[in-house]
Structure 1
Amino acid sequence: MNERESRAWRGLIAVTQLLPAALDARLQRDAQLTHFEFGVLTILHTMRGPAMRMTELAEATNATLPRLSNVCSRLEKRGLIERSPCADDRRATNVGLTTAGRRALIHSIPDHIATVRSVVVDALSEEQLDALADITDTIIERLASLDDAAPPPAASRTAR
């Protein structure tokens, strides 16, 4: 790599390592949630219907089933979600948000948005935000093309 390429690569790696840690620290302090747990609760909150299959939730969160299962166990112990057998397929498990989970998510959203604004959005101009969205879309598409059998990550399916 030349210096320009190396600088861009090192910057991307630093952001992918530092940003999740910063979001986790703030969410842990303010809402006793990790950023991943916040994402799980958000997806469950925005879904249609009372529950979704674990496999669908894993896809939507870009997580493996074992990781998601561990996180769901923690959330279930805290009363934030509930799991139940799927009526259509006894091998599958459904996950739904509880009232306490909905309350915890809604309580955590304003502080989380303030953190995201402070750390990322307010630090960039409108042009830089557009460029960041284009850059991440391009990288996500490239990552999805590495395995044509896999659906694109959830982040690339969200509207800007």
Structure 2
Amino acid sequence: MSGTQRTPAQWVDAIYTPGPRSYGSDVDDWTRWIRFAGIVMMIAGAIGVIQGLVALLQPSFYVVNGGDRVLAVVSAGVWGWVHLVLGVLVAAAGVGVLAGRLWARVVGIALAATSAVVNLLFLAVYPMWAVVVIALDIAVIFALATDRRGARM
């Protein structure tokens, strides 16, 4: 529009008229949820890696009731490897979600569901932490599974 003048009404129409909405654009309100999910996944993955390393390097840290097992059937070493591998996968999927990859959203939903189940088993060891992680996993699943392109908020 070089050389032409816009009226105030045309400026308002240009600013407030919704354009094409897609993930990754600034006009899509659901992009914030996707970014939230990616960031939470990266943080949760890093914390999972830390939990796994703690369980591997100091096995008595997560032991319940003075035994040698975290749960009735899982030793601290197995528990550490589960958290370590799950943490790395969740963080990698979080990077993919932030990059806008569809495969990362699908993998992220599966990993968040797996993380929720693992932390459900972890309730006996650290109940408050497990509840917080389960709630974040549910928020991540909601953010990644909801397809609201073009929907009004």
Same fold? TM cut 0.5: no
Greater fraction strand = 1
Instruction: With the length of structure 1 as denominator, give the TM-score of the two structures.
Output: 0.28
Instruction: With the length of structure 2 as denominator, give the TM-score of the two structures.
Output: 0.29
State the structure with bigger RCO (CA 8 A, min sep 6), 1 or 2.
2
